């Protein structure tokens, strides 16, 4: 009640006439101003929310990009490793083939070495290469062999 009396006193002191339409209009303007302020706050709040959402999306897209890049990097490394393994296996097969060939050649040379030390081989080499004979043997050279020997000497 005290408030009502104070208002009445205030109006009595002001000596002003209150127009009801004007008062309603002022109250309406105040309400509209308050609603506009609320709308501005709401819009600002919505903008902040939108900015946060955009920031979160941007972070998520960066993370996704980073994860995709890491996965691609790992796949590339894996592919390179697989290719390297295949190349090494091919080199290993080639080395094994070469080793087998060298072993075969070594066995062949060992056989030849055994044959070279035999007396029969030494005798055959001495007769063919050095034209040596045993005591009491005579070497007969056919005519066409003479011609071949002379042709070789003429060419050389």
What's residue 17's pLDDT?
66
pLDDT of res. 4: 59
- pLDDT of 7 reads 65
Low-confidence residues in the chain, pLDDT < 70: 1-17, 145-156
pLDDT at 156: 46
Distance in angstroms (rounded) separating the CA atoms of residues 144 and 150: 10
Q: Look at residue 29 in the predicted model and tell me its pLDDT.
A: 93
CA–CA distance, 16 with 10 (Å, rounded to integer): 10
Distance from C-alpha of 98 to C-alpha of 91, rounded to nearest angstrom: 10
pLDDT at 71: 97
State the Cα–Cα distance between residues 16 and 27, nearest whole angstrom.
Answer: 18
């Amino acid at each position: 009640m005290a408030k009502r009396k104070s208002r009445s006193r205030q109006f009595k002191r002001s000596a002003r006439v209150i127009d009801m339409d004007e008062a309603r209009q002022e109250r309406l303007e105040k309400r509209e101003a308050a609603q506009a302020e609320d709308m501005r706050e709401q819009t600002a709040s919505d903008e902040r929310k939108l900015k946060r959402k955009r920031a979160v999306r941007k972070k998520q897209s960066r993370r996704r990009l980073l994860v995709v890049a890491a996965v691609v990097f790992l796949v590339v490394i894996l592919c390179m490793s697989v290719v390297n393994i295949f190349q090494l296996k091919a080199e290993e097969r080639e080395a094994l083939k070469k080793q087998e060939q060298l072993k075969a050649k070594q066995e062949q040379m060992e056989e030849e070495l055994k044959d070279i030390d035999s007396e029969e081989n030494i005798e055959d080499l001495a007769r063919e290469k050095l034209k040596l004979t045993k005591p009491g043997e005579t070497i007969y050279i056919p005519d066409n062999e003479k011609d071949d020997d002379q042709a070789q000497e003429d060419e050389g």
